[in-house]
Amino acid sequence: MIDDTTVRHVARLARLRLDDAEEQVMREELSGILEHIDAIRAMDLDGVPPTTHVIELENVLRADEPRQGLSQEDALREARAVVDGSFEVPRMD
């Protein structure tokens, strides 16, 4: 079960502003989904290593040579606000 405090904590971590009604629905739905997911907490996994990559690759590196990246014009093209060739953001307090 997930309680209201956990929902608010996780929403803050995820940078999601939820209203009160959304918080309540989220608590109920996440609790419901976790009941199913909890099946994996009962499995015997002793000595089983985690999988992070299904196809093993080693040392995928490219030559360290300068090359053309995105132009400044392209990089800023879709931004909501641009000042002096930079992304503009509100205060950070």
Rounded CA gap, 35 and 89, in Å? 41
Residue 3 sits in the site that holds other proteins (CB under 8 A): no
Least Cβ distance, residue 68 to other proteins (angstroms)? 12
By CB under 8 A, tell whether 72 contacts other proteins: no
Q: How far is the CB of 4 from other proteins (least distance, A)?
A: 13
Interface mask toward other proteins for 17-46; x: CB under 8 A: xxx--x---x--xx-xx--xxxxxx-x-x-
Task: Report how many residues bind other proteins under the rule CB under 8 A.
Answer: 51
Which of 26, 8, 25 shows the shortest CA–CA distance to 17?
8
Q: Indicate whether 2 belongs to the interface with other proteins (CB under 8 A).
A: yes
